[in-house]
Structure 1
Protein backbone atom coordinates (compact mmCIF):
# COMPACT_ATOMS: atom_id res chain seq x y z
CA UNK A 1 0.00 0.00 0.00
CA UNK A 2 1.37 3.36 -0.97
CA UNK A 3 1.72 6.27 1.41
CA UNK A 4 -1.05 8.09 -0.48
CA UNK A 5 -3.43 5.17 -0.07
CA UNK A 6 -2.59 4.92 3.62
CA UNK A 7 -3.26 8.60 4.10
CA UNK A 8 -6.66 8.25 2.47
CA UNK A 9 -7.61 5.63 5.06
CA UNK A 10 -6.97 8.01 7.92
CA UNK A 11 -10.26 9.23 9.31
CA UNK A 12 -9.96 12.70 10.74
CA UNK A 13 -11.59 13.26 14.09
CA UNK A 14 -14.29 15.93 13.69
CA UNK A 15 -13.87 19.14 15.66
CA UNK A 16 -16.17 19.56 18.69
CA UNK A 17 -18.59 22.43 18.23
CA UNK A 18 -20.29 24.60 20.86
CA UNK A 19 -23.54 22.80 20.16
CA UNK A 20 -21.82 19.47 20.88
CA UNK A 21 -20.72 20.77 24.29
CA UNK A 22 -24.19 22.13 25.05
CA UNK A 23 -25.84 18.87 24.01
CA UNK A 24 -23.37 16.85 26.12
CA UNK A 25 -23.99 18.90 29.28
CA UNK A 26 -27.76 18.86 28.78
CA UNK A 27 -27.71 15.09 28.30
CA UNK A 28 -25.55 14.56 31.40
CA UNK A 29 -26.89 16.74 34.27
CA UNK A 30 -24.61 14.92 36.75
CA UNK A 31 -21.43 15.96 34.94
CA UNK A 32 -20.57 18.70 37.44
CA UNK A 33 -21.56 16.46 40.35
CA UNK A 34 -18.93 13.97 39.27
CA UNK A 35 -16.47 16.77 38.54
CA UNK A 36 -17.17 18.99 41.52
CA UNK A 37 -13.75 20.65 41.55
CA UNK A 38 -14.38 21.96 38.06
CA UNK A 39 -17.26 24.09 39.34
CA UNK A 40 -14.87 26.13 41.50
CA UNK A 41 -11.90 26.18 39.14
CA UNK A 42 -13.64 26.78 35.83
CA UNK A 43 -13.39 30.49 34.94
CA UNK A 44 -15.68 32.39 32.63
CA UNK A 45 -15.02 35.71 30.92
CA UNK A 46 -17.44 38.26 32.35
CA UNK A 47 -17.09 41.72 30.83
CA UNK A 48 -15.57 44.33 33.10
CA UNK A 49 -15.12 41.84 35.95
CA UNK A 50 -12.60 39.79 34.00
CA UNK A 51 -12.88 36.07 34.69
CA UNK A 52 -15.22 34.72 37.36
CA UNK A 53 -16.06 31.24 38.55
CA UNK A 54 -19.14 29.36 37.44
CA UNK A 55 -20.53 29.58 40.98
CA UNK A 56 -20.03 33.35 41.09
CA UNK A 57 -21.72 33.77 37.72
CA UNK A 58 -24.67 31.64 38.81
CA UNK A 59 -25.10 33.57 42.07
CA UNK A 60 -24.94 36.87 40.21
CA UNK A 61 -27.63 35.74 37.78
CA UNK A 62 -29.83 34.60 40.67
CA UNK A 63 -29.40 37.99 42.36
CA UNK A 64 -30.34 39.73 39.10
CA UNK A 65 -33.44 37.55 38.71
CA UNK A 66 -34.47 38.35 42.28
CA UNK A 67 -33.93 42.08 41.66
CA UNK A 68 -36.00 41.87 38.45
CA UNK A 69 -38.82 40.06 40.28
CA UNK A 70 -38.78 42.66 43.08
CA UNK A 71 -39.00 45.46 40.51
CA UNK A 72 -41.91 43.72 38.75
CA UNK A 73 -43.68 43.31 42.09
CA UNK A 74 -43.20 47.00 42.91
CA UNK A 75 -44.60 47.94 39.50
CA UNK A 76 -47.63 45.67 39.98
CA UNK A 77 -48.30 47.16 43.42
CA UNK A 78 -48.04 50.68 41.97
CA UNK A 79 -50.41 49.79 39.11
CA UNK A 80 -52.89 48.25 41.56
CA UNK A 81 -52.76 51.39 43.72
CA UNK A 82 -53.27 53.63 40.67
CA UNK A 83 -56.19 51.48 39.46
CA UNK A 84 -57.79 51.58 42.91
CA UNK A 85 -57.43 55.38 43.02
CA UNK A 86 -58.87 55.68 39.50
CA UNK A 87 -61.82 53.45 40.36
CA UNK A 88 -62.60 55.54 43.46
CA UNK A 89 -62.46 58.77 41.44
CA UNK A 90 -64.89 57.43 38.85
CA UNK A 91 -67.13 55.98 41.57
CA UNK A 92 -67.40 59.48 43.09
CA UNK A 93 -68.23 60.92 39.65
CA UNK A 94 -70.91 58.27 39.06
CA UNK A 95 -72.54 59.07 42.41
CA UNK A 96 -72.47 62.82 41.79
CA UNK A 97 -74.04 62.44 38.33
CA UNK A 98 -77.02 60.51 39.70
CA UNK A 99 -77.82 63.55 41.85
CA UNK A 100 -77.85 65.96 38.89
CA UNK A 101 -80.96 68.04 38.30
CA UNK A 102 -79.83 69.67 35.03
CA UNK A 103 -77.47 69.10 32.12
CA UNK A 104 -75.46 72.19 33.07
CA UNK A 105 -74.92 70.68 36.52
CA UNK A 106 -73.83 67.47 34.81
CA UNK A 107 -71.30 69.40 32.70
CA UNK A 108 -69.96 71.21 35.78
CA UNK A 109 -69.52 67.92 37.65
CA UNK A 110 -67.68 66.35 34.74
CA UNK A 111 -65.36 69.35 34.38
CA UNK A 112 -64.62 69.90 38.07
CA UNK A 113 -64.30 66.25 39.08
CA UNK A 114 -62.31 64.99 36.10
CA UNK A 115 -60.03 68.00 35.67
CA UNK A 116 -59.33 68.38 39.39
CA UNK A 117 -58.63 64.70 40.11
CA UNK A 118 -57.17 63.47 36.82
CA UNK A 119 -54.36 65.00 34.70
CA UNK A 120 -56.71 66.01 31.90
CA UNK A 121 -56.96 69.33 30.10
CA UNK A 122 -60.57 69.49 28.92
CA UNK A 123 -63.95 67.78 29.31
CA UNK A 124 -66.95 68.66 27.16
CA UNK A 125 -70.43 67.36 26.50
CA UNK A 126 -71.62 67.84 22.92
CA UNK A 127 -75.37 67.38 22.53
CA UNK A 128 -77.02 66.62 19.20
CA UNK A 129 -79.14 69.70 18.47
CA UNK A 130 -81.24 67.67 16.04
CA UNK A 131 -82.23 65.25 18.82
CA UNK A 132 -82.57 67.51 21.86
CA UNK A 133 -84.60 70.70 22.20
CA UNK A 134 -81.82 72.95 23.46
CA UNK A 135 -82.65 76.18 25.24
CA UNK A 136 -80.36 79.17 24.86
CA UNK A 137 -78.25 78.36 27.93
CA UNK A 138 -77.40 74.97 26.43
CA UNK A 139 -76.33 76.20 23.00
CA UNK A 140 -72.60 76.13 23.97
CA UNK A 141 -73.03 72.36 24.27
CA UNK A 142 -74.72 71.96 20.88
CA UNK A 143 -73.29 70.02 17.96
CA UNK A 144 -75.06 69.77 14.61
CA UNK A 145 -76.24 66.46 13.21
CA UNK A 146 -73.91 66.92 10.24
CA UNK A 147 -70.87 67.50 12.45
CA UNK A 148 -71.82 64.53 14.59
CA UNK A 149 -72.14 62.21 11.59
CA UNK A 150 -68.82 63.43 10.16
CA UNK A 151 -66.93 62.80 13.39
CA UNK A 152 -68.51 59.40 13.91
CA UNK A 153 -67.65 58.32 10.38
CA UNK A 154 -64.12 59.69 10.63
CA UNK A 155 -63.12 58.55 14.12
CA UNK A 156 -65.28 55.66 15.27
CA UNK A 157 -64.77 53.21 12.38
CA UNK A 158 -68.03 51.46 13.21
CA UNK A 159 -67.41 51.47 16.97
CA UNK A 160 -68.59 53.71 19.78
CA UNK A 161 -65.36 55.37 20.91
CA UNK A 162 -62.04 56.77 19.74
CA UNK A 163 -58.76 57.06 21.66
CA UNK A 164 -55.84 58.79 19.98
CA UNK A 165 -54.40 62.03 18.60
CA UNK A 166 -56.60 65.01 17.82
CA UNK A 167 -56.48 66.96 14.55
CA UNK A 168 -56.73 70.73 14.26
CA UNK A 169 -60.29 70.77 12.89
CA UNK A 170 -61.64 68.36 15.51
CA UNK A 171 -59.74 70.14 18.26
CA UNK A 172 -61.36 73.46 17.39
CA UNK A 173 -64.84 71.91 17.30
CA UNK A 174 -64.60 69.72 20.38
CA UNK A 175 -62.35 71.73 22.71
CA UNK A 176 -61.71 75.15 21.20
CA UNK A 177 -58.80 76.17 19.01
CA UNK A 178 -56.64 77.37 21.91
CA UNK A 179 -57.19 74.35 24.18
CA UNK A 180 -54.03 72.55 25.27
CA UNK A 181 -55.18 69.17 23.91
CA UNK A 182 -52.98 66.75 21.98
CA UNK A 183 -54.81 63.46 22.47
CA UNK A 184 -58.43 62.69 23.22
CA UNK A 185 -61.02 60.15 24.28
CA UNK A 186 -64.20 60.50 22.25
CA UNK A 187 -67.24 58.51 23.40
CA UNK A 188 -70.65 58.20 21.73
CA UNK A 189 -73.69 58.97 23.88
CA UNK A 190 -76.92 57.06 23.39
CA UNK A 191 -77.56 53.54 22.18
CA UNK A 192 -76.75 54.53 18.61
CA UNK A 193 -74.74 57.65 19.38
CA UNK A 194 -77.83 59.77 18.76
CA UNK A 195 -77.46 61.91 21.91
CA UNK A 196 -74.06 63.33 21.04
CA UNK A 197 -70.51 62.96 22.33
CA UNK A 198 -68.40 63.09 25.45
CA UNK A 199 -64.97 64.55 24.59
CA UNK A 200 -62.07 64.36 27.05
CA UNK A 201 -58.72 65.87 26.12
CA UNK A 202 -55.19 65.50 27.46
CA UNK A 203 -52.17 67.74 26.93
CA UNK A 204 -50.06 64.57 26.73
CA UNK A 205 -49.98 63.35 23.13
CA UNK A 206 -49.51 59.75 24.35
CA UNK A 207 -52.15 59.75 27.09
CA UNK A 208 -54.94 58.34 24.92
CA UNK A 209 -53.93 55.60 22.51
CA UNK A 210 -55.79 53.10 20.35
CA UNK A 211 -56.49 49.84 22.14
CA UNK A 212 -56.72 51.33 25.63
CA UNK A 213 -59.23 49.87 28.07
CA UNK A 214 -62.47 51.88 28.10
CA UNK A 215 -64.25 50.14 30.99
CA UNK A 216 -64.54 53.15 33.33
CA UNK A 217 -65.23 55.68 30.56
CA UNK A 218 -67.75 53.30 29.01
CA UNK A 219 -69.63 53.05 32.31
CA UNK A 220 -69.50 56.84 32.66
CA UNK A 221 -71.08 57.27 29.23
CA UNK A 222 -73.80 54.72 29.99
CA UNK A 223 -74.74 56.72 33.08
CA UNK A 224 -74.75 59.99 31.12
CA UNK A 225 -76.84 58.39 28.37
CA UNK A 226 -79.36 57.15 30.95
CA UNK A 227 -79.70 60.58 32.57
CA UNK A 228 -79.76 62.83 29.50
CA UNK A 229 -83.35 62.00 28.35
CA UNK A 230 -84.55 62.68 31.89
CA UNK A 231 -82.86 66.08 32.05
CA UNK A 232 -83.27 67.33 28.47
CA UNK A 233 -86.44 67.22 26.33
CA UNK A 234 -86.07 65.73 22.86
CA UNK A 235 -87.45 67.18 19.64
CA UNK A 236 -90.56 65.55 18.17
CA UNK A 237 -88.66 65.01 14.91
CA UNK A 238 -85.47 63.81 16.56
CA UNK A 239 -82.95 62.24 14.21
CA UNK A 240 -82.08 58.84 15.66
CA UNK A 241 -79.55 57.55 13.19
Structure 2
Protein backbone atom coordinates (compact mmCIF):
# COMPACT_ATOMS: atom_id res chain seq x y z
CA UNK A 1 0.00 0.00 0.00
CA UNK A 2 1.32 3.43 -0.95
CA UNK A 3 1.53 5.93 1.89
CA UNK A 4 1.65 9.74 1.81
CA UNK A 5 5.42 9.87 2.20
CA UNK A 6 5.92 7.80 -0.94
CA UNK A 7 3.53 10.03 -2.86
CA UNK A 8 5.39 13.16 -1.76
CA UNK A 9 8.74 11.61 -2.67
CA UNK A 10 7.43 10.61 -6.08
CA UNK A 11 6.06 14.10 -6.82
CA UNK A 12 9.31 15.73 -5.71
CA UNK A 13 11.29 13.33 -7.86
CA UNK A 14 9.03 14.03 -10.85
CA UNK A 15 8.20 17.77 -10.83
CA UNK A 16 6.71 17.42 -14.33
CA UNK A 17 4.10 14.92 -13.10
CA UNK A 18 1.16 17.31 -13.35
CA UNK A 19 2.39 18.55 -16.72
CA UNK A 20 2.08 15.02 -18.02
CA UNK A 21 -1.20 14.49 -16.17
CA UNK A 22 -3.17 17.78 -16.39
CA UNK A 23 -6.46 16.04 -15.62
CA UNK A 24 -5.14 15.01 -12.21
CA UNK A 25 -4.09 18.61 -11.50
CA UNK A 26 -7.51 19.98 -12.42
CA UNK A 27 -9.23 17.42 -10.21
CA UNK A 28 -7.27 18.36 -7.10
CA UNK A 29 -9.06 20.57 -4.59
CA UNK A 30 -7.81 22.15 -1.38
CA UNK A 31 -9.90 23.48 1.54
CA UNK A 32 -10.10 27.26 1.74
CA UNK A 33 -10.35 29.37 4.88
CA UNK A 34 -13.89 30.30 3.89
CA UNK A 35 -14.91 26.64 3.80
CA UNK A 36 -15.09 26.37 0.01
CA UNK A 37 -12.67 24.36 -2.11
CA UNK A 38 -10.04 25.74 -4.48
CA UNK A 39 -7.91 24.04 -7.12
CA UNK A 40 -4.21 23.38 -6.62
CA UNK A 41 -3.38 25.99 -9.25
CA UNK A 42 -5.41 28.60 -7.39
CA UNK A 43 -3.68 27.60 -4.18
CA UNK A 44 -0.26 27.93 -5.81
CA UNK A 45 -1.16 31.36 -7.16
CA UNK A 46 -2.32 32.42 -3.70
CA UNK A 47 0.92 31.18 -2.09
CA UNK A 48 3.02 32.95 -4.72
CA UNK A 49 1.12 36.19 -4.12
CA UNK A 50 1.69 35.91 -0.37
CA UNK A 51 5.39 35.26 -0.88
CA UNK A 52 5.63 38.13 -3.33
CA UNK A 53 3.99 40.46 -0.79
CA UNK A 54 6.36 39.24 1.93
CA UNK A 55 9.39 39.82 -0.30
CA UNK A 56 8.18 43.32 -1.19
CA UNK A 57 7.74 44.13 2.50
CA UNK A 58 11.24 42.85 3.27
CA UNK A 59 12.65 44.91 0.41
CA UNK A 60 10.83 48.02 1.63
CA UNK A 61 12.22 47.43 5.13
CA UNK A 62 15.74 47.14 3.73
CA UNK A 63 15.32 50.33 1.72
CA UNK A 64 13.95 52.17 4.76
CA UNK A 65 16.89 50.99 6.87
CA UNK A 66 19.33 52.04 4.15
CA UNK A 67 17.81 55.53 3.97
CA UNK A 68 17.94 55.86 7.76
CA UNK A 69 21.59 54.77 7.76
CA UNK A 70 22.37 57.34 5.07
CA UNK A 71 20.78 60.08 7.17
CA UNK A 72 22.66 58.93 10.27
CA UNK A 73 25.94 58.92 8.34
CA UNK A 74 25.35 62.48 7.08
CA UNK A 75 24.50 63.72 10.58
CA UNK A 76 27.56 62.05 12.06
CA UNK A 77 29.84 63.35 9.31
CA UNK A 78 28.53 66.89 9.82
CA UNK A 79 29.09 66.65 13.58
CA UNK A 80 32.61 65.24 13.25
CA UNK A 81 33.66 67.92 10.77
CA UNK A 82 32.27 70.63 13.05
CA UNK A 83 34.16 69.23 16.05
CA UNK A 84 37.40 68.97 14.11
CA UNK A 85 37.14 72.53 12.82
CA UNK A 86 36.23 74.05 16.21
CA UNK A 87 38.89 76.41 17.54
CA UNK A 88 37.78 76.55 21.16
CA UNK A 89 36.52 74.22 23.86
CA UNK A 90 33.30 76.20 24.06
CA UNK A 91 32.67 75.69 20.34
CA UNK A 92 33.25 71.94 20.65
CA UNK A 93 30.84 71.57 23.57
CA UNK A 94 28.15 73.76 21.98
CA UNK A 95 28.32 71.85 18.69
CA UNK A 96 28.19 68.52 20.51
CA UNK A 97 25.21 69.45 22.67
CA UNK A 98 23.29 70.96 19.75
CA UNK A 99 23.79 67.89 17.56
CA UNK A 100 22.88 65.39 20.28
CA UNK A 101 19.59 67.16 20.87
CA UNK A 102 18.67 68.24 17.33
CA UNK A 103 20.05 65.36 15.25
CA UNK A 104 19.88 62.37 17.58
CA UNK A 105 16.87 63.25 19.79
CA UNK A 106 18.89 62.79 22.99
CA UNK A 107 16.72 63.82 25.94
CA UNK A 108 19.48 64.48 28.48
CA UNK A 109 23.18 65.03 27.97
CA UNK A 110 26.18 66.26 29.88
CA UNK A 111 29.92 66.46 29.43
CA UNK A 112 32.04 66.38 32.58
CA UNK A 113 35.66 67.50 32.41
CA UNK A 114 38.10 66.59 35.17
CA UNK A 115 40.28 69.38 36.47
CA UNK A 116 40.26 72.87 37.93
CA UNK A 117 37.52 75.21 36.74
CA UNK A 118 39.91 78.11 37.22
CA UNK A 119 42.40 76.80 34.70
CA UNK A 120 40.16 75.23 32.04
CA UNK A 121 38.71 77.39 29.23
CA UNK A 122 35.09 78.47 29.63
CA UNK A 123 32.44 76.17 28.14
CA UNK A 124 29.06 74.63 28.85
CA UNK A 125 30.77 71.47 30.06
CA UNK A 126 30.71 70.87 33.81
CA UNK A 127 34.16 70.90 35.43
CA UNK A 128 34.68 68.66 38.46
CA UNK A 129 37.71 67.76 40.54
CA UNK A 130 39.52 64.53 39.76
CA UNK A 131 39.20 63.15 43.29
CA UNK A 132 35.53 64.12 43.50
CA UNK A 133 34.79 62.42 40.19
CA UNK A 134 36.50 59.18 41.20
CA UNK A 135 34.60 59.24 44.49
CA UNK A 136 31.19 59.38 42.81
CA UNK A 137 31.65 57.73 39.39
CA UNK A 138 34.97 55.93 39.77
CA UNK A 139 33.72 52.66 38.28
CA UNK A 140 32.51 54.47 35.15
CA UNK A 141 35.82 56.27 34.69
CA UNK A 142 37.83 53.09 35.19
CA UNK A 143 35.73 51.08 32.74
CA UNK A 144 37.60 52.62 29.79
CA UNK A 145 34.67 51.78 27.52
CA UNK A 146 31.14 52.88 26.72
CA UNK A 147 28.43 51.45 28.96
CA UNK A 148 24.62 51.39 28.77
CA UNK A 149 22.02 50.65 31.41
CA UNK A 150 20.60 51.79 34.72
CA UNK A 151 22.96 53.64 37.08
CA UNK A 152 22.91 54.16 40.81
CA UNK A 153 21.10 57.26 42.06
CA UNK A 154 24.36 58.76 43.30
CA UNK A 155 25.93 58.36 39.87
CA UNK A 156 22.91 59.91 38.16
CA UNK A 157 22.99 62.94 40.45
CA UNK A 158 26.68 63.48 39.81
CA UNK A 159 26.32 63.15 36.03
CA UNK A 160 23.03 64.99 35.49
CA UNK A 161 22.42 67.13 38.55
CA UNK A 162 18.82 68.31 38.89
CA UNK A 163 17.68 66.10 35.97
CA UNK A 164 18.73 62.89 37.74
CA UNK A 165 15.24 62.00 38.98
CA UNK A 166 13.87 62.17 35.42
CA UNK A 167 16.37 59.72 33.95
CA UNK A 168 15.66 56.00 33.66
CA UNK A 169 18.64 54.76 31.66
CA UNK A 170 22.04 56.07 30.60
CA UNK A 171 24.77 55.60 28.03
CA UNK A 172 28.16 56.96 29.07
CA UNK A 173 31.73 56.81 27.85
CA UNK A 174 34.98 58.01 29.50
CA UNK A 175 37.19 60.40 27.54
CA UNK A 176 40.86 59.58 27.61
CA UNK A 177 44.05 61.00 26.13
CA UNK A 178 46.88 59.41 28.02
CA UNK A 179 44.70 59.76 31.11
CA UNK A 180 40.98 60.14 31.71
CA UNK A 181 40.04 63.79 31.29
CA UNK A 182 36.25 63.59 31.18
CA UNK A 183 33.09 61.60 30.58
CA UNK A 184 30.21 62.05 28.13
CA UNK A 185 26.81 60.90 29.38
CA UNK A 186 23.41 60.81 27.67
CA UNK A 187 20.16 59.81 29.32
CA UNK A 188 16.56 58.88 28.62
CA UNK A 189 13.47 58.78 30.80
CA UNK A 190 12.72 55.21 29.64
CA UNK A 191 14.58 52.64 31.79
CA UNK A 192 14.79 50.34 28.76
CA UNK A 193 15.98 52.90 26.23
CA UNK A 194 19.68 52.34 26.88
CA UNK A 195 20.18 48.66 27.66
CA UNK A 196 23.34 46.82 28.62
CA UNK A 197 22.82 44.51 25.63
CA UNK A 198 22.73 47.27 23.02
CA UNK A 199 25.67 48.28 20.84
CA UNK A 200 27.82 51.28 21.69
CA UNK A 201 29.55 51.79 18.34
CA UNK A 202 28.30 55.35 17.80
CA UNK A 203 29.07 56.53 21.33
CA UNK A 204 32.53 54.93 21.23
CA UNK A 205 33.24 56.57 17.88
CA UNK A 206 32.11 59.95 19.19
CA UNK A 207 34.40 59.51 22.19
CA UNK A 208 37.34 58.81 19.86
CA UNK A 209 36.66 62.08 18.05
CA UNK A 210 36.47 64.01 21.35
CA UNK A 211 39.65 62.29 22.55
CA UNK A 212 41.43 63.88 19.61
CA UNK A 213 39.79 67.29 19.55
CA UNK A 214 39.45 68.29 23.20
CA UNK A 215 42.97 67.87 24.66
CA UNK A 216 44.51 70.57 22.46
CA UNK A 217 41.79 72.99 23.60
CA UNK A 218 42.05 72.32 27.34
CA UNK A 219 44.99 74.68 27.89
Partner of residue 48, structure 1: 34
**Structure 1 residues 30-179: aligned runs within 5 Å:** 30-48=16-34, 50-128=36-114, 132-135=115-118, 140-142=126-128, 144-152=133-141, 156=143, 160-178=145-163
Partners of 1:22 and 1:177 lie apart in 2 by 70
Counting matched residue pairs gives 212
Structure 1 position 199, deviation (Å): 0.8
Residue aligned with 1:145, SS: helix
Residue aligned with 1:195, SS: strand
Partners of 2:22 and 2:151 lie apart in 1 by 65
Residue aligned with 1:200, SS: strand
Structure 1 position 206, deviation (Å): 4.2
Partners of 1:30 and 1:193 lie apart in 2 by 73
Partners of 1:105 and 1:38 lie apart in 2 by 79
Q: What TM-score do you get using the length of structure 2 for normalisation? A: 0.81
Q: Which runs of 5+ in 1 are unaligned?
A: 1-12, 234-241
C-alpha contact (below 8 Å) 1:45/1:51 kept by paired residues: yes
Partner of residue 29, structure 1: 15
Structure 1 position 108, deviation (Å): 2.0
CA distances 1:73-94 after superposition (whole Å, capped 9, x unpaired)? 1111111111111111111111
CA spacing shift, 1:66–1:227, aligned 2, 3 Å: same
Residue aligned with 2:205, SS: helix
Residue aligned with 2:161, SS: coil
CA distances 1:91-113 after superposition (whole Å, capped 9, x unpaired)? 11112212334333322222112
Q: What TM-score do you get using the length of structure 1 for normalisation? A: 0.74
C-alpha contact (below 8 Å) 1:168/1:177 kept by paired residues: no
CA distances 1:114-162 after superposition (whole Å, capped 9, x unpaired)? 101222101211223xxx3432867834261233322356xx5xx6111
Of structures 1 and 2, the larger Rg is shown by 1
Are positions 1:199 and 2:185 aligned together? yes
